[in-house]
Amino acid sequence: MHPRAPHLVGRDAEMAQLERALDTARGQRGSTVFLVGDGGVGKSRLAAEATGRAFSAGMRVLRGRGSTIGPMVPFRPLTEALMSLFRGGRPWDEAELGAYRPVLGRLIPDWAGEAQTGGSLVVLAEAVLRLLSVVAREYGALVILEDLHDADTETLVVLEYLVDNLEHLPVVLLATTRAEPCAALDLAHSVTQRRSGVLLGLGPLDRSEVARMIASCLDTEAERVPGELVARLWDTSAGNPFVVEELLHGMIGNGSVAHRDGSWEVVGPLRTEVPSTLVRGIAHRTDRLGPQGRMLLSAAAVLGRRFPLPVLQRMSGIDDHGLLSHLHAGVAAQLVVPDEPAPDWYAFRHPLTAEALLAQLTPTDRAKLSGRAAEVVEELHPGLPGEWCALVAALRRDAGDPVGAARLFTEAGRRALADGAVGSGVSLLLGADELLAKHQDGVARAEVLEPLLPALAESGEFDRAFGLAEGLHELVGAGVEAGRLAALHTRLAKVAHLAGRWADGNAQIAEARALLRTERDPAQAAAVDVVAAYLALDTPGPDRTETAEKLARTAVTAAEAGPQPAVACQAWELLGVLARERDLDEARLCFERARRIAEQHRLPIPRTYALVRIGGNEWLADGETRSLELARDEALRLGAVTIAYSIDAILVLQAVLRGRFEEAVRLGDEISTTAARLRLAPVARYVLMTRATMAAHQGDRAAMEAALREFAGWDGAGSQEEPLCIGLARAFCALLEENRPLALRELEKARAQERDSPTTFHLSG
């Protein structure tokens, strides 16, 4: 018998749809197809068929799958897919990627040395899109991302961006996910609803199709398959192709079905039982490997669907020869396969295989194996770098050590946040908090909340952050020191600032200050003061700028004595913004101070922002753009594309103010298109403001009003760019029309806005 049906059965309509998508892509029109179905229903098989068709047509094929080790591995499907570009094949020009090449260092190991830490996921997604446009230009490409039910949030964010922007590229994106509640399935439905892609739901095979699949495996005609065999497999598999193959393999292996005199016959009882058919089938095959082989695969299942041989060998105590012998037997039994190209890694051939092996373990045995696996990984990988930390956290959880698991989940979450993987970081930290909810360990819970609260704010989950914060009072008597509690209240105040809830933020600052009355720690006080300063600017009142400046100066003094470079940079930036209202030279000194601190502590992105502020000051003073252009070069070197676009927007306004309108149109259109695609609202508003200004400076009120209407659609009302629209555009247009009363009214509006909002741009008229 063939271990797998050599012919695709029951998926003619789906395969025809995929072939149409591939043909259309070769005609320079891309598309997205989601394959959705239960485990084992044939998603991977259909994807493999599409791969063969794409190869035959000369298309590039990039293939990756969801993370299968630990809770989450950020970007694994994308990294695995893109790595194939570096394993031979047709050459392509890396130079065409320009500023996006360093951004891709987050995904491509060969460029990891150039990677920008953190950064916008939208910019990363645009970088992937640019890469696909380069490699698919001549022959088209098929990108297959499998098992997205195991994918991290960041991968799905990038995927959604690709889906929305593939239409004009010769690329087919084929994604697979299980038909179970998960973020990937939600994305598939969302994409379908807005008609950005197609969802193909793979259901079970019907009875005739099961018969054809059995015939294909047995290399015979469907009419010659014993009816009893078809009936039993149809009943027990529920039409799941993988289960059909597994059960058929088990029946032949145990002698229930045999090949005699040129035909297949049922020669014994067809021993399959529902609902444990798959578990029993796996058990039969593992039994043939002997006690040691069965133990080895059970230990491997504890590690996940993929497992590293060094860890497995240390867990089992088997020598090299024995380990490889059992693995080769597992390969022959269709249980495991080498996980190429990763060296010394194997994988279960199907996720259901690992699940079936785990189902055979008693809870006690699984806990013991998980604990041993955690010990071995910690011995082999001190410090648990990379994905090992999350894996050991999961193992500690399964071993019955919730507090130890929570601390490791917390560390893995911190690392994910430091790498800019906010979604994965939040997921890991929430897992840690959930484990600690049932155990009264206040110190461990405080360690989780410290990074979790600001991370939730970064991901826009403000209500969830405030919901968790409601339990802060429970930590007072749980051994958490006052300083740590104050830090939590300060973080919650920052969340409130980002959410625009200045009253809640001020209340949290008051809580923090009350806790610090007896601490007298200048470093903690500085962290409170800098957040309080930003909240002071949010809080209505006649003295808000004076209060904010006083708090920022207090924070700077304490932060630089600490030292606390991050707090100091925040404070000096705020002081520079406030000083810019009265004196550009004073503002420049503040920004220079922020730059020096960033350089001293090797903070490249804050340093670049400081250079932008400095260059902006010089431009406001005398129209000189040289420093801005140098800052732009630095941003491009780092792969900080959004900073570069912000500078480009200023250069568009420079062209308008110098009357170089053709140049302004060319630059502005290019930036506007990219800003809209990347959803860079500040850049989009700024460019639209320059477009309105250009029309006004030519006396074209209709074009000015059209640009301002589009500006309003980008939440322009109340934005910092709005006074520029009034002074540089509306008032100027009124003057060219010689409508002095209207010009004066427009200028009064600009003056009122400047009076009420001290952080607006200059040049408002």
For the chain, give the number of residues: 765
**Structure confidence at residue 399 (pLDDT):** 92
Res. 759: pLDDT tops 60: no
User: Rounded to an integer, what distance in angstroms lies between the CA atom of residue 693 and that of residue 20?
Assistant: 47
Average pLDDT of the segment spanning 547-565: 89
Which helix (H) or strand (E) is 136 found in, with range?
none
Residue 238: helix, strand or coil by DSSP?
A: coil
Residue 273: helix, strand or coil by DSSP?
A: coil
User: Rounded to an integer, what distance in angstroms lies between the CA atom of residue 391 and that of residue 388?
Assistant: 5
pLDDT tier, 1 (very low <50, low <70, confident <90, very high otherwise): low
pLDDT tier, 171 (very low <50, low <70, confident <90, very high otherwise): very high
Q: Bridge partners of 257?
A: 266
Q: Determine contact, residues 416/459, Cβ cutoff 8 Å.
A: no
**pLDDT mean across residues, the chain:** 84
Give the residue with greater pLDDT, 485 vs 699. 699
For the chain, state the CA radius of gyration.
31
Q: Determine contact, residues 60/89, Cβ cutoff 8 Å.
A: yes
**Phi, psi angles (nearest 5°) of residue 177:** -155, 155
Tokens of 27: 């005609």
**Phi, psi angles (nearest 5°) of residue 660:** -90, 75
Tokens of 75: 């970007």
What is the share, in percent, of the chain residues with pLDDT greater than 90?
Answer: 31
**Structure confidence at residue 608 (pLDDT):** 84
Res. 117: pLDDT tops 60: no
Give the residue with greater pLDDT, 401 vs 755. 401
Residue 564: helix, strand or coil by DSSP?
A: coil
Q: Which residue pairs from 210-216 have beta carbons closer than 8 angstroms and sit at least 24 positions apart in sequence?
A: 210/234, 210/237, 210/239, 210/244, 212/9, 212/10, 213/5, 213/9, 213/10, 213/241, 213/244, 213/245, 214/244, 214/248, 216/2, 216/5, 216/6, 216/7, 216/9
Tokens of 556: 């700077």
Angle between helices 565-579 and 544-561 (to 10 degrees): 150
User: Rounded to an integer, what distance in angstroms lies between the CA atom of residue 407 and that of residue 445?
Assistant: 9
DSSP 116: P
Q: Determine contact, residues 51/176, Cβ cutoff 8 Å.
A: no
Give CA 482 to chain center in angstroms.
35
Give pLDDT tens digits for 273-291.
433 556 666 777 777 788 8
Give the residue with greater pLDDT, 464 vs 379. 379
Q: Give the residue among 157, 196, 156 at the shortest CA–CA distance from 177.
A: 156
**Structure confidence at residue 259 (pLDDT):** 87
Q: Determine contact, residues 390/70, Cβ cutoff 8 Å.
A: yes
Residue 120: helix, strand or coil by DSSP?
A: coil
Q: Which amino acid is at 738?
A: E
Residue 607: helix, strand or coil by DSSP?
A: helix
Per the listing, tokens 């995904």 go with: 107
**Structure confidence at residue 427 (pLDDT):** 85
Farthest-apart Cα atoms in the chain, separation: 105
Exposed, middle or buried: residue 583 (CB in 10 Å: 0-12, 13-18, 19+)?
exposed
Give pLDDT tens digits for 641-677.
777 888 999 999 999 999 999 999 988 888 888 777 7
**Structure confidence at residue 274 (pLDDT):** 36
User: Rounded to an integer, what distance in angstroms lies between the CA atom of residue 663 and that of residue 64?
Assistant: 43
Q: Which of 86-90, 119-123, 216-220, 418-422 has the highest mean pLDDT?
A: 216-220
Q: What is the 3-state secondary structure (H, E, C) of 721-733?
A: CHHHHHHHHHHHH
DSSP 173: E
Give the residue with greater pLDDT, 278 vs 447. 447
Q: Give the residue among 667, 724, 672 at the shortest CA–CA distance from 697.
A: 724
pLDDT tier, 334 (very low <50, low <70, confident <90, very high otherwise): confident
Tokens of 4: 């797998």
Average pLDDT of the segment spanning 724-747: 94
Res. 47: pLDDT tops 90: yes
Helices and strands of the chain, counted as H and E runs: 36, 10
Tokens of 265: 């016959």
Give the residue with greater pLDDT, 720 vs 59. 59
**Structure confidence at residue 670 (pLDDT):** 82
* Sequence-ordered alpha helix ranges (H) in 639-739: 641-657, 661-678, 681-697, 701-713, 722-724, 732-736
Q: Give the residue among 565, 554, 494 at the shortest CA–CA distance from 522.
A: 554
**Structure confidence at residue 525 (pLDDT):** 87
Q: Which amino acid is at 278?
A: L
Rounded to two decimals, the pTM is 0.66
User: Rounded to an integer, what distance in angstroms lies between the CA atom of residue 453 and that of residue 469?
Assistant: 8
User: Rounded to an integer, what distance in angstroms lies between the CA atom of residue 255 and that of residue 553?
Assistant: 83
**Structure confidence at residue 244 (pLDDT):** 84
**Structure confidence at residue 13 (pLDDT):** 92
Distances in Å between the alpha carbon of 159 and those of 78, 126, 153, 210, 469?
Answer: 9, 10, 10, 34, 32
User: Rounded to an integer, what distance in angstroms lies between the CA atom of residue 323 and that of residue 338?
Assistant: 13
Q: Give the residue among 319, 318, 303 at the shortest CA–CA distance from 398.
A: 303
- List, in order, residues 6 or more apart from 351 with CB less than 8 Å away: 39, 68, 147, 305
Res. 38: pLDDT tops 50: yes
pLDDT tier, 96 (very low <50, low <70, confident <90, very high otherwise): confident
User: Rounded to an integer, what distance in angstroms lies between the CA atom of residue 51 and that of residue 62?
Assistant: 9
Res. 272: pLDDT tops 70: no
Q: Determine contact, residues 336/347, Cβ cutoff 8 Å.
A: yes
**Phi, psi angles (nearest 5°) of residue 257:** -125, 135
**Structure confidence at residue 765 (pLDDT):** 63
Average pLDDT of the segment spanning 617-646: 83
Res. 440: pLDDT tops 80: no
